[in-house]
């Protein structure tokens, strides 16, 4: 009987990606840049949170820290234009149909940025709660956003995302009184998957909770 040769494509791809991710982290470390990988489903408020974070962080530090954003999307540049309008450098990364960003994509993007003055680089990943959690981008920290209208059951449906993130930002908290979202249930489910995860209740509309989130982020980057 002939032996079938099995080739583990996914394992090989992930191993190569992890090696490239380490190169990205070394490049960022050399420049003194901290990269945050921000993930969520579409419409949860990634760009809104980035804008509020820019505003909060800059108001809390004098002199202002250097910031930049990598906006990843399958085929659009509207978010990058929004960030540029806020006075922060931004690069649009078109993934060409891929549903996530990997370390090779980030490596190709970094030469477009002058990293030396950038203390905080935010990667707005593609809107998706599955693929981005599986791919190391080279970021120093992974954070996810869950908006209240999405429901409190997402840890049950997308456990890997919650396991891979250091922090969970629950956005659109101003909707809490309008539906049946159970914050206590969400906390229990998230903490069961990841006991160390930090959870922030935020409303980008009202500004509630943004300062607490920004303070945590500044501690992470050592500022």
Q: What is the largest CA-CA distance in the chain?
A: 73
Tokens representing 30 are 């050399």
Q: Once rounded to an integer, what is the mean pLDDT over residues 186-202?
A: 98
- Quick one: pLDDT at residue 12? 61
DSSP 123: E
- Quick one: pLDDT at residue 75? 62
Tokens 């990598």, residue located: 70
Q: Domain extents for the chain? A: 9-220
Helix, strand, or coil (residue 90): strand
- What pLDDT band is residue 179 in, cutting at 50, 70 and 90? confident
Q: Once rounded to an integer, what is the mean pLDDT over residues 162-187?
A: 95
- Quick one: pLDDT at residue 142? 98
Superfamily covering domain 9-220: P-loop containing nucleotide triphosphate hydrolases (3.40.50.300)
Mean pLDDT across the chain: 91
Helix, strand, or coil (residue 191): helix
Q: Once rounded to an integer, what is the mean pLDDT over residues 94-123?
A: 93
Specify the pTM: 0.90
Q: Could you give the CA distance from residue 139 to residue 144 in angstroms, rounded to a whole number?
A: 13
Is the confidence at residue 178, as pLDDT, over 90? no
Strands (DSSP E) found in 25-149: 34-40, 67-73, 90-94, 120-124, 141-147
- Quick one: pLDDT at residue 60? 85
Task: Give tens-digit pLDDT for 12-62.
Answer: 667 789 999 999 999 999 999 999 999 999 999 999 999 999 999 988 876
């Amino acid at each position: 009987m002939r032996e079938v040769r099995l080739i583990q494509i996914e394992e090989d791809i992930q191993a190569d990606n992890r090696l490239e991710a380490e190169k990205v982290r070394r490049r960022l470390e050399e420049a003194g840049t901290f990269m945050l990988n921000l993930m969520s489903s579409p419409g949860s408020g990634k760009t809104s949170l980035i804008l509020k974070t820019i505003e909060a962080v800059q108001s809390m530090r004098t002199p202002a820290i250097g910031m930049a954003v990598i906006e990843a999307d399958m085929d659009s540049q509207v978010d990058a234009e929004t960030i540029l309008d806020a006075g922060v450098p931004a690069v649009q990364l078109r993934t060409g149909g891929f549903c996530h960003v990997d370390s090779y994509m980030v490596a190709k993007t970094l030469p477009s940025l002058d990293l030396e003055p950038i203390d905080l680089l935010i990667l707005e990943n593609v809107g998706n709660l599955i693929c981005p959690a599986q791919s190391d981008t080279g970021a120093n920290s992974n954070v996810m956003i869950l908006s209240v209208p999405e429901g409190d059951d997402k840890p049950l449906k997308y456990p890997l995302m919650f396991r891979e993130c250091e922090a969970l930002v629950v956005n659109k908290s101003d909707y809490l009184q309008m539906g049946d979202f159970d914050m206590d249930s969400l906390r229990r489910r998230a903490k069961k998957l990841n006991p160390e995860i930090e959870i922030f209740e935020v409303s980008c509309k009202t500004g509630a909770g943004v300062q607490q989130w920004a303070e945590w982020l500044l501690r992470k980057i050592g500022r």
